[in-house]
Structure 1
Amino acid sequence: MDITKWDKLFSMLENSQMRENMLLQFVAQYGGACGVAVETAGRRMSMQMEARLRESMEHLRQDQSTAAGKSAGNSGNSHQETLLQQLITAVRTQASRLIKLENSCLSNPGPVTPPEAKGGNLQQDVASAEMLDALVTELAKTRAVLEIALKSARQRHLPAGCETALLFPMRSRRIFSSVTPDLPLSLSSFTVCLWAKPVSISNRTVLFSYGTKRNPYEIQLILSGTRALFTVGGEAHLVEGRGVVRGGIWTHICGAWSSEQGIASLWADGHRVAFTPGVAEGHVLPNGGSLQLGQEKNGGGVSGGSGGSGSEMPGFEGGFDAKLAFIGKITGVNMWDRVLTEEEISQLALQDGEGCEQRGNVIGWGLTEIVPHGGAQFIN
């Protein structure tokens, strides 16, 4: 289900609250002298709200029925449908209370009421105010239900319009994904970006790694606790961003580097979180190394070809360390042979955007060959 549908629901509920405030002002100004038009508007509002919510839930059911991996998502779908049913119940409750309030207004004779009836009118005004307070409270509860459903939907669905992701189910030296770039990696500048949703982060967890037998650490994009780290040409200079990653949450991470002045920068969710000059200044990445996701090759194995397809499985196993393995999901992996602008990176990092459609010319998600090994697999 598109996240924009949830935004429409929020807008609809905010409009409902605004109309309730208008009704409250009307009661205060005219002492309850409501007309048939107010009742009609209230009924129409409640009917429109319920109809739109039913339509949204039907779209959700259709999306879920056509999605892959039905068995894995059954429990999540049931939970989301329950939340929407609760939302519809809450809207019906609001509609009922609005009707009662409007009937109360209609039964009030307004400013022509004789003085002896003022006591009864005052009681009606108090009751009307209490009803409005209850409506506001109910609306707040409904909004809370929507926020929970929205958060749940965002975490179950892939970000940035991505249709697939790589799943790394456990920490193992046999579980990784090898990447064959579309261009040689003899680069003097680049930007690499990806979405990551870690389940567990150790002191050193590898997201993206490129290296040769001579230097296994040509490019490193790694996690450590809540930190993200990026380096080029070795680990003499680590570009570090603190407090940018959390377990169970999708985070967009980019590392950019230029050989000129050795400018390296690290980005998290579209914001530059670290910037360091003098990183591998004048260096050119060597071609012919191995590029992998979810692991790093420590030099003990056999080097792959120009992209490191990883066909020499025994050599790869010998060069991997289970302690460094990534656990979780990765999607939207892209690499360019240039430094992207701030605007370009910000657009890629929009969770509700279409960043997955902006593919790199060195690595393009969905176009470049990526081969899962061990228990790693593509999921929808």
Structure 2
Amino acid sequence: MYAPGAVLALCLPCFLSGNVFGYDYGEDYSDSYYNEISNGDRLKTGATQIPCPPQDFSRWDKLFIMLEDSQMKQNMLVQQCEDMVKAEMDTIRKELHKLNNNKACVQASENTCRCVSEQMNHNLNQAMEQLREAADMYQAQNNETLQQLVQFSRNQASRLTKLESNSLLGASLGQVAMKSFSAYPKEQEASTTDSGKLERALMATAADLQRVHVQLALFQRATAHRYLPSGCEMALLFPMRSKHIFAEVSPSMSMSLQSFTICLWAKVTQSLNKTVLFSYGTKKKPQELQLLLARRSVLLTVGGETHLVEAHSVVTDGQWGHFCAAWSSEQGLATLWVNGENVARVPGVAEGHVLSGDGFILLGQERSRSGVYRDLDSSVAFTGKMTGVNMWDHVLEAERIKEYANHDGSCDCRGNVIGWGVSEIIPHGGAQYIN
């Protein structure tokens, strides 16, 4: 029977060498350790067995295999979402292309667009349900993985606490314990290093999972909004380029203004040399105020084309964009904003000018010089979608314009001259509201 002190001195090296965590250093290490004992010592010890045999734990392998599976499922889910959205957008683009090639679309546009809208709603509802189910499944898997990681981290902390307690206890044993401790400096250092690496890996994994959760939540909200930006529930659809298709706006106050800010969301199918977003004109000046697109550029005119502000390479066909134009008569300063970024700033534009108050506002088209609708020009007509049209009688601050360009929840902010959802906007021809 061994004395209690001798047993404790015999087992202390195992606790300090890292075997308390279950590390298996392999047969080579064990053999090399015991081969270092001299033959004389080997004869003395006789058939004494190893005090603390190494144990084979596979939880490390299982843990990292589980993390790899989670990453692979994440990539598969993101790829599936992208493929699903791309397929739906291709279907919509093909249907709109068929509408453009149909000569009888003007007469049957209302029924056709209604059918397309119902099909789009059905397809988007199915896609949203699939995405919600996939997101719930992936979130459940992530939560399970995080719980396992947290539990494993707690176990490691408990083992480190035991190791520190054993170290303090070994210090009281005197010279024998100190010799045993000095025989394993490299193993103790390796154990501490591995623990630090594990902690950093766990923190990085938790941060990655949190970012994936945020991205999935944003994508789910965008799908719930049926691809309409800014949280708007409806939009104006201009199905084709035609002089008969436009929308007329009735402002909430007089257009006799010395300053203004116009903001709107637009998704243009194809921008030509001149594509009208917003136009205000009178009998004497049919194009007194205009917000235009020209290929990949956005333009603003005040008081006629002689006062022109332009920003290049800021427009992309087939994508939603937030466009704002601001002007002040006092300083003649005109600015253009695209997606919350200031893209043009020009002083001396129509300085001292005052807009006439007896004109007409059109969306997707400009007033003809004769003032008759049948004389409108189809080559400048807008085709695509438009939403969140607002106008103020003053220049907005830069921070507010950036806030309105946010894709999530800024559609409730309305202008005092034109307020989306408040001011009367009447579609003509094949233009119609969709949701």
Distance change in 2, residues 1:375/1:135 (3 Å):
farther
Kindly report the root-mean-square deviation, in angstroms, between the aligned alpha carbons of the 2 structures.
3.8
Residues 264 and 276 of structure 1 are in contact (CA less than 8 Å); yes or no, is this contact kept in structure 2?
Answer: yes
Partner of 1:42: none
Q: Choose the corresponding residue for 1:94, options 146, 158, 167.
A: 146
TM-score, with length taken from structure 1:
0.65
Partner of 1:319: 376
Q: Within the alignment, does 1:206 sit opposite 2:263 as a pair?
A: no
With a CA cutoff of 8 Å and minimum separation of 6, indicate the structure with the bigger relative contact order.
1
Partner of 2:418: 363
Aligned partner letter, 2:343: V
Structure 2 runs not aligned, ≥5 long: 1-17, 22-117, 171-179
Aligned partner letter, 1:320: D
Q: Within the alignment, does 1:183 sit opposite 2:258 as a pair?
A: no
Greater Rg by CA: 2
Q: Within the alignment, does 1:167 sit opposite 2:237 as a pair?
A: yes
Q: How many residues are treated as equivalent by the alignment?
A: 302
Q: Structure 2 CA distance, aligned partners of 1:135 and 1:89? A: 16
Q: Within the alignment, does 1:259 sit opposite 2:329 as a pair?
A: yes
Aligned to 1:223, the other structure's residue is in SS state strand
Residues 299 and 308 of structure 2 are in contact (CA less than 8 Å); yes or no, is this contact kept in structure 1?
Answer: yes
Residues 300 and 319 of structure 1 are in contact (CA less than 8 Å); yes or no, is this contact kept in structure 2?
Answer: no
Aligned partner letter, 2:391: M
Partner of 1:275: 345
Distance change in 2, residues 1:365/1:92 (3 Å):
same
Q: Choose the corresponding residue for 1:110, options 155, 163, 167.
A: 163
Distance change in 2, residues 1:104/1:260 (3 Å):
closer
Task: Compute the displacement of 1:199 (Å).
Answer: 4.5
Aligned to 1:332, the other structure's residue is in SS state strand
Task: Compute the displacement of 1:110 (Å).
Answer: 0.9
Distance change in 2, residues 1:144/1:200 (3 Å):
farther
Q: Structure 2 CA distance, aligned partners of 1:86 and 1:375? A: 43
Residues 211 and 291 of structure 1 are in contact (CA less than 8 Å); yes or no, is this contact kept in structure 2?
Answer: yes
TM-score, with length taken from structure 2:
0.57
Structure 1 runs not aligned, ≥5 long: 1-30, 35-67, 303-314
Partner of 1:73: 124
Q: Within the alignment, does 1:139 sit opposite 2:206 as a pair?
A: yes
Partner of 2:306: 236
Q: Structure 2 CA distance, aligned partners of 1:195 and 1:183? A: 22
Distance change in 2, residues 1:78/1:161 (3 Å):
closer
Aligned to 1:254, the other structure's residue is in SS state strand
Aligned to 2:137, the other structure's residue is in SS state helix
Q: Structure 2 CA distance, aligned partners of 1:228 and 1:32? A: 69
Residues 83 and 145 of structure 1 are in contact (CA less than 8 Å); yes or no, is this contact kept in structure 2?
Answer: no
Q: Higher helix share goes to which structure?
A: 2
- What is the percentage of aligned positions where both structures have the same residue? 45
- Deviations 1:310-360, CA, capped at 9 Å, x for gaps: xxxxx25x4031x43334332221222333344544444444454x44432
Residues 244 and 428 of structure 2 are in contact (CA less than 8 Å); yes or no, is this contact kept in structure 1?
Answer: yes
Q: Structure 2 CA distance, aligned partners of 1:170 and 1:150? A: 34
Residues 32 and 125 of structure 1 are in contact (CA less than 8 Å); yes or no, is this contact kept in structure 2?
Answer: no
Residues 128 and 220 of structure 2 are in contact (CA less than 8 Å); yes or no, is this contact kept in structure 1?
Answer: no
Partner of 2:76: none
Q: Structure 1 CA distance, aligned partners of 2:263 and 2:403? A: 12
Aligned partner letter, 2:150: L
Residues 80 and 149 of structure 1 are in contact (CA less than 8 Å); yes or no, is this contact kept in structure 2?
Answer: no
Distance change in 2, residues 1:276/1:130 (3 Å):
closer
Aligned to 1:145, the other structure's residue is in SS state helix
